[in-house]
Amino acid sequence: QKEVEQNSGPLSVPEGAIASLNCTYSDRGSQSFFWYRQYSGKSPELIMSIYSNGDKEDGRFTAQLNKASQYVSLLIRDSQPSDSATYLCAVGPSGYSTLTFGKGTMLLVSP
Amino acid sequence: DAGVIQSPRHEVTEMGQEVTLRCKLISGHNSLFWYRQTMMRGLELLIYFNNNVPIDDSGMPEDRFSAKMPNASFSTLKIQPSEPRDSAVYFCASSFGQSSYEQYFGPGTRLTVT
């Protein structure tokens, strides 16, 4: 069974710090990796996608992928209180197989 | 651009009643996903359509649940009869291309069955 594991948190960081969110997955055939942000009472919002080993940067967000270790992470630089949310990791193989979501890590950024 | 549209946003019904949830895909997208989210189980995929054809319905809990995609832009998820354990937030998501591509979620329907 395909599994995606995340620490449920909460992960508490002060404003301006770097938040590091981690995710491990069980299916070695996985080819696509996504990070979604979900505010309380709202729907998941896609914020990053990564398909190759290494780092991908988009503004204050950096996604890191290590397929050999079956590990994907999300770094948020200069964390803001508005970043407080649950972050969901989603993993999928290529083709007509579906994404598997982790249960999410709650991030709390204190002013 | 309009995102994924879901209706109703909230639904309260009594056990045994039929519930129909609706979803309109983002224009140009051809894959449609129905998810259910609860605190205990997280986000669970119920069913996935590609080009109007159901590809994977292994997540549909039981025969009480059914989903249709009568045209390329619209889908319904029906629960008949509803039970209290069906209470959850139901999300619809769409993507362009295959299931492993980027999915965009609608605002969800919060279903409460009493």
In this predicted structure, the answer to whether residue B100 has a pLDDT above a threshold of 80 is no
Residue A94 and residue B98: Cβ atoms within 8 Å?
yes
**pLDDT tens digit string along B42-54?**
999 999 999 999 9
- For the record, the structure tokens of A50 come out as 């990564």
**pLDDT tens digit string along A18-76?**
999 999 999 888 989 999 999 999 999 999 999 999 999 999 999 999 999 999 999 99
Which chain A residues have a beta carbon less than 8 Å from that of B55?
96
Q: Which pLDDT band holds residue A94 (cuts at 50, 70, 90)?
A: low
Specify whether the CB–CB gap between B50 and B98 falls below 8 A.
yes
Among chain B residues, the shortest Cα distance to A105 is held by B42
- Name the least confident of A76-80, B11-15, B76-80, B95-99: B95-99
**pLDDT tens digit string along B1-40?**
689 999 999 999 999 999 999 999 999 999 999 999 999 8
In this predicted structure, the answer to whether residue A1 has a pLDDT above a threshold of 90 is no
Residue A49 and residue B99: Cβ atoms within 8 Å?
no
Residue A96 and residue B50: Cβ atoms within 8 Å?
yes
* The one-letter amino acid at B114: T
3-state class (DSSP) for residue A81: helix
Which chain B residues have a beta carbon less than 8 Å from that of A92?
99-100
Residues ≥6 apart with Cβ < 8 Å to B87? B111, B112, B113
Q: Where are the beta strands (DSSP E) in chain A?
A: 4-5, 11-14, 19-25, 30-38, 45-50, 54-58, 61-66, 71-76, 85-93, 100-101, 105-110
Q: Which pLDDT band holds residue A97 (cuts at 50, 70, 90)?
A: low
| Phi, psi angle pair for A69, to nearest 5° | -95, -5
Q: Which pLDDT band holds residue B96 (cuts at 50, 70, 90)?
A: confident
Which chain A residues have a beta carbon less than 8 Å from that of B33?
98
What's the confidence (pLDDT) of residue A92?
87
Phi/psi zone of residue A81: left (φ > 0), alpha (ψ -120 to 50 degrees), beta?
A: alpha
What's the confidence (pLDDT) of residue A2?
76
Q: Given the structure tokens 């960081």, which residue do they identify?
A: A13
Among chain A residues, the shortest Cα distance to B58 is held by A98
Which chain B residues have a beta carbon less than 8 Å from that of A85?
none
In this predicted structure, the answer to whether residue A96 has a pLDDT above a threshold of 60 is no
